Amino acid sequence: MTDAPATRPRKPLIGFTAATRGDHGVAWLLRLAIFLGGGRSTRINAPFEDWHGERPDGLLLSGGLDIHPTRYDGDESFESEFDHDRDHLEFSWMDWADHARIPAFGICRGLQMLNVHAGGDLHQSLDPDLIATWPTTAIEYLIFRKPIRIKPGSHLEAATGSTELDVNSLHRQAVRNPAPGFTVVAHERASDGIQAIEANEPALRMGVQYHPELLLHDRAARSLFRYFIDQCRPPG
């Protein structure tokens, strides 16, 4: 009599959001990052109350248009591009993630969404003198890097294995006041601007202002996705 083959542990299912207009390439990169990190992926394209698919083990909120200022008591006269439907979609899923104690990881706008959903607010427009030093073309964005400092002992340090990284930059807004329960764990060297936040309640919350899905050639970026996905593994 032979022993039955051992069953492989189920890979965590990561539900990710992406821009509703365009950005198909980014969605593909997110799927690749999740795969390389040891997870399965499903794109979330409906609010939680309208979702009929498998419920994910973790949420990944990606970049995109600005969050509408009514979500954080910002200046409503501020001119920008907004996506009200996506704001509602991500708020509904974060409500569920809090209730179900599901880990969540935010990238760029996603970091800002984690913060706003938990009661923090944003700088609606960064210092023009700072932005003037940043890229203006697609090619420049591919090669531009800025140094950030990471807090020792943070999840981000554990994930990347470093207290200093050179990262990309594609944002025009940023966290102003972190939400209650969140800790700032990375700053930009040049401006001291917030580059990452974390919380441990009601479950792991990690957010980075840069775009690790565009840096998958770098070990630290791949390790960041793997670290988050490891936190999403079902027990047993």
Query: How far apart are alpha carbons 59 and 104 in whole angstroms?
Result: 5
Higher pLDDT, 164 or 20: 164
Catalytic residue among 90, 188, 198, 213: 213
Q: Could you tell me the two tokens for 210?
A: 């840069």
Is 213 catalytic? The answer is: yes
* CA gap 99, 92 in Å, rounded: 11
Query: What pLDDT is attached to residue 134?
Result: 63
The torsion angle over the Cα atoms of residues 30, 21, 174 and 100, rounded to 10 degrees, is: -60
Q: What is the pLDDT of residues 174-203, one digit of tens each?
A: 899 999 999 999 999 877 789 999 999 999
Distances (CA, A) of 8 to 2, 5, 11, 192, 236: 18, 9, 9, 45, 11
Structure tokens at 91: 């708020």
Percent of the chain with pLDDT strictly greater than 90: 69
- % residues pLDDT > 70 (the chain): 86
- Most confident range (mean pLDDT) of 77-86, 93-102, 188-197 is 93-102
Quick check: 218 pLDDT over 70? yes
In this structure, the number of other CB atoms found within 10 A of the CB of residue 231 comes to: 17
* Stretch (H or E) spanning 87: helix 84-100
- Residue pair 100/202 in contact by the 8 Å Cβ criterion: no
Full domain range(s) for residue 201:
13-231
Is position 232 annotated as part of the catalytic site? no
Select which of 68, 90, 108, 188 is catalytic.
Answer: 108
Query: How far apart are the C-alpha atoms of 204 and 14, rounded to whole Å?
Result: 14
Please check whether residue 3 lies inside any domain of the structure: no
* pLDDT score recorded for residue 75: 75
Q: Is the dihedral of CA 169, 194, 41, 6 positive or negative?
A: positive
User: Residue 53 pLDDT > 70, yes or no?
Assistant: yes
User: Of the ranges 19-23, 132-136, 190-194, 227-231, which one carries the lowest mean pLDDT score?
Assistant: 132-136
Residue 189 lies in a domain: yes
Q: What is the DSSP string of 185-200?
A: EEEETTT--EEEEEE-
What is the per-residue pLDDT across 117-132, written as a single tens digit (0 to 9) for each?
Answer: 999 999 877 666 556 5
Active-site option among 68, 117, 171, 211: 211
199 inside domain: yes
The residues pairing with 104 across neighbouring beta strands, listed in sequence order, are 59, 205
Question: Residue 155: inside a domain, yes or no?
Answer: yes
Q: Indicate the pLDDT class of residue 135, thresholds 50, 70 and 90.
A: low
Taking the C-alpha atoms of residue 74 and residue 62, their distance in angstroms, rounded to an integer, is: 21
Flag whether 8 is in a domain: no
The answer to whether residue 5 sits within a structural domain is no
Average pLDDT rounded to a whole number, residues 161-171: 89
The pLDDT confidence band at residue 20, using thresholds 50, 70 and 90, is confident
Q: Regarding predicted confidence, which is higher, 173 or 211?
A: 211
Looking at residues 139-150, what average pLDDT do you find?
82
Higher pLDDT, residue 81 or 97: 97
Give the mean model confidence (pLDDT) for residues 204-217.
95
Number of domains in the chain: 1
- Confidence grade of residue 44 (pLDDT, cut at 50, 70, 90): very high
pLDDT value, residue 24: 63
Is 80 exceeded by the pLDDT of residue 152? yes
Q: Do the Cβ atoms of 99 and 201 come closer than 8 Å?
A: no
Summary mean pLDDT of the chain:
89
Residue 4 lies in a domain: no
* R_g of the chain computed on alpha carbons: 18
Residue-level pLDDT at 97: 98
Two tokens, residue 229: 């996905």
CATH number of the domain within which 98 lies: 3.40.50.880
Straight-line distance from the first to the last Cα atom of the chain, in angstroms, rounded to the nearest whole number: 26
